[in-house]
């Protein structure tokens, strides 16, 4: 019989601690592999943490509402021997030895992603081809059991490879059979080359230009919360990394407004979903990107990586005022109904703080909706490592001159501004302007008789 330590896993970039909101077990309970142990909450994600082993809960170290650092032991499970006790003991001893060399706050995943723990904010960037035997410096986004880590180490499977494996366990957690199948496929040459993020590390305590601020006794001083600090650092980094250019066009979206007013009740009755303008905007952006693929790229030094999948991130304001950016994966493959359902699901999860780490990952282009706050135009900041971001303004009724068979006439039309910020290292003014104009044209050409 041996003991297995359950540690607080890494739940996202720059997340260093999480709050235990619920225990599903108590001391003395028997637990099975993949059965939920406890629920945690961070500023970005709420997740259920499964058990990586079968056994009995020997000790629980933290109560509900405790704030626990990443890598801290939260519970101990006693495990019974199996048909391979010597092998298990070897694996546990190896893992324990590695953990003792790590800092107390380093997660179990760092057995593969071995790097010094520094006070840095890691920003995921573009990708480059690397040998499968190279050890990645990327931090893991999922929990891996010591058995899986041990197999990965012995088979020289890098962390970025582990991250690419779709597991068969709860929440796609990688199990023993999954990694063994991956290793076998790799030996047969059925695995694509591994890619890794080429991150930009920005020192968290980097000295910024200090501005002298005077304040009075009646002024209020508010300390930024963790999410706001991360957003602030990310925005400053983006402006330093990318030379921003913003172009603006005005689009006539009268057909879209009239179409939505006509079909919204029918759409809800047929699909059980409320349709907004955002699915239409997302569809138009995906179409335009397929014609201008360079807008779906990232920059790594002097290399441009054009992404095959069009993963559109949608900026969503949370009830606490912070901003989250969940991602619609493969937007170019979804119809209007699919985009609507996907958007509504992400928006509902954001409101309830139920977005997962996977919901935030993989974005290749971003849309932010200033119009939801009745703003006409905005100049958004690019979300690195993407090269462009689109802002949609408020839809307003305006007088417009239109050509008619009897001459020009002044009519009332529904119009909105679209503003595109793009990285001038990659996108020049001609391409940025043409791409933005193409989005506007797609919206203006919308079929008012489109069926739902």
Sheet holding 46-50, edge to edge: 46-50, 36-41, 17-23, 67-69
Q: Is the dihedral of CA 417, 423, 425, 426 positive or negative?
A: negative
449 carries an active-site annotation? no
Domains and CATH numbers, the chain: 2-200 (2.40.50.100), 226-444 (3.30.559.10)
At 98 the pLDDT is 47
Give me the pLDDT at residue 212, please.
66
What's the confidence (pLDDT) of residue 141?
A: 59
Cα distance between residue 388 and residue 293, in whole Å: 12
Q: State the catalytic residue, choosing from 265, 424, 441, 449.
A: 424
Catalytic residue among 265, 428, 441, 449: 428
Task: Specify whether the CB–CB gap between 7 and 75 falls below 8 A.
Answer: no
Query: Would you list the DSSP string of 320-361?
Result: TS-EE--EETTGGG--HHHHHHHHHHHHHHHHTT---HHHHS
Helix axes 146-154, 85-101, angle to 10 degrees: 90
Q: What is the pLDDT of residue 191?
A: 65
What residue ranges of the chain have pLDDT lower than 50?
82-89, 91-138, 193, 195-208
Cβ neighbours around 411 below 10 Å, total: 12
Q: How far is CA 306 from CA 140, 187, 329, in A?
A: 24, 28, 16
Q: Which pLDDT score is estimated for 84?
A: 45
307 among known catalytic residues? no
pTM tops 0.75, yes or no: no
Stretch (H or E) spanning 184: helix 176-187
Q: Which two tokens stand for residue 57?
A: 């809960």
Q: Give me the pLDDT at residue 170, please.
A: 53
């Amino acid at each position: 019989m041996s003991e297995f330590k359950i540690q607080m896993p890494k739940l996202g970039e720059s997340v260093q601690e999480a709050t235990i909101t619920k225990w599903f077990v108590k001391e003395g309970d028997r637990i099975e592999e993949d059965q939920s142990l406890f629920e945690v909450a961070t500023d970005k994600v709420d997740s259920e943490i499964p058990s990586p082993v079968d056994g009995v809960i020997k000790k629980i170290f933290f109560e509900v509402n405790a704030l626990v650092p990443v890598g801290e032991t939260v519970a101990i499970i006693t495990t019974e021997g199996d048909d391979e006790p010597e092998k298990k003991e070897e694996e546990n001893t190896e893992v324990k030895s590695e953990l003792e060399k790590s800092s107390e706050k380093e997660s179990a995943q760092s057995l593969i992603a071995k790097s010094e723990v520094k006070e840095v904010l890691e920003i995921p960037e573009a990708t480059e081809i690397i040998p499968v035997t190279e050890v990645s410096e990327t931090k893991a986004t999922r929990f891996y059991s010591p058995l899986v880590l041990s197999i990965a180490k012995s088979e020289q499977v890098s962390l970025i490879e582990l991250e690419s494996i779709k597991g068969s366990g709860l929440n796609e957690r990688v199990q023993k059979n999954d990694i063994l199948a991956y290793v076998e496929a790799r030996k047969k040459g059925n695995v694509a080359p591994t890619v890794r993020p080429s991150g930009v590390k920005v020192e968290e305590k980097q000295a910024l230009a200090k501005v002298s601020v005077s304040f009075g006794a009646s002024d209020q001083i508010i300390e930024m919360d963790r999410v706001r600090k991360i957003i602030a650092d990310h925005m400053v980094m983006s402006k330093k990394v990318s030379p921003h250019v913003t172009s603006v066009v005005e689009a006539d979206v009268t057909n879209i407004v009239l179409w939505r007013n006509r079909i919204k009740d029918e759409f809800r009755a047929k699909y059980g979903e409320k349709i907004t303008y955002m699915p239409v905007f997302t569809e138009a952006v995906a179409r335009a990107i397929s014609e201008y693929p360079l807008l779906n790229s990232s920059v790594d030094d002097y290399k441009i990586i054009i992404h095959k999948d069009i993963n559109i991130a949608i900026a969503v304001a949370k009830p606490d005022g912070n901003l989250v950016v969940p991602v619609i994966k493969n937007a170019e493959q979804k119809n209007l109904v699919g985009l609507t359902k996907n958007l509504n699901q992400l928006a509902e999860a954001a409101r309830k703080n139920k977005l997962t780490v996977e919901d935030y990952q993989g974005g290749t282009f971003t849309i932010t909706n200033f119009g939801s706050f009745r703003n006409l135009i905005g100049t958004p900041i690019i979300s690195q490592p993407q090269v462009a971001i689109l802002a949609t303004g408020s839809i307003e009724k305006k007088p417009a001159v239109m050509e008619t068979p009897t001459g020009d006439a002044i009519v009332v039309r529904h119009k909105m501004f679209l503003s595109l910020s793009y990285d001038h290292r990659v996108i020049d003014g001609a391409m940025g302007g043409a791409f933005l104009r193409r989005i506007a044209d797609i919206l203006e050409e919308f079929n008012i008789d489109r069926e739902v």
